Structures are given as structure tokens and as C-alpha cells.
């Protein structure tokens, strides 16, 4: 601990002390799955994609339509048939895109109509279109739910002694009023991707 010379000694001492100091405060190896950026990407990154996808000029009224028709997210869920926010966003995006296409097709059918062309450029009328799609979906959803309940009741009355799990899908259909097959909709996105952390050995090589 008593080296000779000045600059070289000091540099060596400095390196040793820095490593010793840092070594005494190092924590456990980090896991990417727990990092802030991962949380941000899970919550913000995907919603950013959806936002940029659906909130075009003409589609900005969609949120208003959803809220006006009544009840915010509950209505949105009913309209799109999904409780999964990611799927919900995707379906909303599909509805808006479908309406845009419909308006564009209408212009193609009447090429001489300048008013229609202008409407297509600005996506005029998309609000009505989206609104009607939402209504249609809600009606369809209600019908499906009613059928699902009816089917379940019929199955129940047809075979009252059947033990649970002997018929595929029965557990899903009888436990909730959701449409058949709907219960699995969110499963694809529910898995939390956690990469196995690679062993890290910080090895400074001055």
C-alpha cells in the first residue's frame, strides 16, 4: 500500500479505490422485465401505436361518438365485443378504417361529384358511419349474448347430470354471459414476456 512514483501510483490507487467503492454498493443483477422502460413500453408504447393509428383527422370524433352513445369504456367494450384494451383499440381502428374505405368507395362510384370527393378527403361523415357500426356491433353482441345464454340453458336442461368439464366450452359458456369463444380473446395478450436475464459479469478492462 506504499507504492513509489507519483502519477502511475496515483492512477493505480484511483482505479483500485473506485472499484472498491463501487463494488461495495453494487446491488443484484438487473432484470430487464423490471425496468422502467419496459413498464412504459407496456403501457405507453402500444397505446401510442393505437393512438396514431386511429386518431386521424376524421376519426377524432370517434371518442366523442363512443362517449355520446353512452358510458365510455363499457360501451366501447360492448361495441367491440372485447374487454381487452389492446383488442378494443384494434377493433376500433378496424371500424374507423372500414368507414374510411366505405366513404372512399362511395366517391369512386360517383367520380363526377366534387362534393363527395371533398367529403372523402376530409373523411366527412365518418362519425355517422362509425356510430352506425358501433350500434350494429352492439346489437349483434346483445344477440350473441342472448343466444349464448339460451344455448347454455338448453344444454343445462337437456343434460342436468352431466359433470362439469365433460363438454368442451361448457365451463366458459355457463359461467358468464359472454359470447361463446369470447372468453379466450384476451389470452393471447395476457402473457407477460419475461426474457431470461443473461448472466452479467461487469469486467472493466482499463
Residues that bind other proteins (CB under 8 A): 1-7, 9-11, 13-15, 17-19, 21-22, 25-27, 29-32, 35-38, 40-41, 195, 197-198, 200, 202, 204-206
- Closest approach of Cβ 55 to other proteins, in Å? 20
Nearest Cα to Cα of residue 58 among 120, 132, 117:
120
Neighbours of 106 (CB within 10 A): 14
- Closest approach of Cβ 191 to other proteins, in Å? 15
186 phi/psi in degrees, rounded to 5: -85, -5
- Closest approach of Cβ 50 to other proteins, in Å? 17
> Residue 26 or residue 166: which is nearer to other proteins going by CB?
26
**In contact, 96 and 126? CB cutoff 8 Å:** yes
> Residue 2 or residue 168: which is nearer to other proteins going by CB?
2
- Closest approach of Cβ 201 to other proteins, in Å? 9
Contact residues for 144 (Cβ-Cβ < 8 A; gap 6+): 81, 179, 180
> Residue 31 or residue 136: which is nearer to other proteins going by CB?
31
Q: Is the dihedral of CA 17, 20, 23, 25 positive or negative?
A: negative
> Residue 12 or residue 136: which is nearer to other proteins going by CB?
12
- Closest approach of Cβ 31 to other proteins, in Å? 7
> Residue 22 or residue 67: which is nearer to other proteins going by CB?
22
DSSP structure string for 123-191: TTTHHHHHHHHHHHHHHHHHHHHHHHHHHHHHHHHH-TTPPTTSSTTHHHHHHSSSPTTGGGTTHHHHS
> Residue 43 or residue 159: which is nearer to other proteins going by CB?
43
- Closest approach of Cβ 121 to other proteins, in Å? 31
Counted residue by residue, the chain has a size of 206
Amino acid at each position: 500500500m506504499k507504492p513509489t512514483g507519483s502519477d502511475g501510483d496515483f492512477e493505480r490507487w484511483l482505479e483500485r479505490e473506485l472499484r472498491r467503492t463501487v463494488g461495495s454498493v453494487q446491488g443484484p443483477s438487473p432484470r430487464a422485465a423490471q425496468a422502467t422502460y419496459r413498464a412504459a413500453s407496456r403501457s405507453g408504447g402500444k397505446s401510442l401505436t393505437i393512438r396514431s393509428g386511429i386518431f386521424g383527422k376524421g376519426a377524432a370524433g370517434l371518442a366523442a361518438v363512443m362517449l355520446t352513445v353512452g358510458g365510455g369504456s363499457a360501451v366501447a367494450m360492448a361495441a367491440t365485443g372485447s374487454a381487452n384494451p389492446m383488442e378494443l383499440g384494434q377493433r376500433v381502428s378496424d371500424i374507423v378504417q372500414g368507414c374510411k374505405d366505405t366513404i372512399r368507395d362511395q366517391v369512386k362510384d360517383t367520380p363526377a361529384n366534387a362534393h363527395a370527393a371533398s367529403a372523402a378527403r376530409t373523411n366527412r361523415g365518418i362519425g355517422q358511419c362509425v356510430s352506425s357500426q358501433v350500434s350494429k356491433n352492439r346489437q349483434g353482441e346483445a344477440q350473441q349474448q342472448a343466444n349464448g345464454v339460451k344455448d347454455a340453458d338448453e344444454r343445462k336442461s337437456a343434460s342436468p347430470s352431466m359433470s362439469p368439464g365433460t363438454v368442451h366450452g361448457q365451463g366458459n359458456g355457463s359461467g358468464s354471459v359472454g359470447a361463446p369463444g369470447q372468453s379466450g380473446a384476451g389470452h393471447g395478450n395476457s402473457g407477460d414476456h419475461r426474457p431470461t436475464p443473461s448472466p452479467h459479469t461487469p469486467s472493466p478492462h482499463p
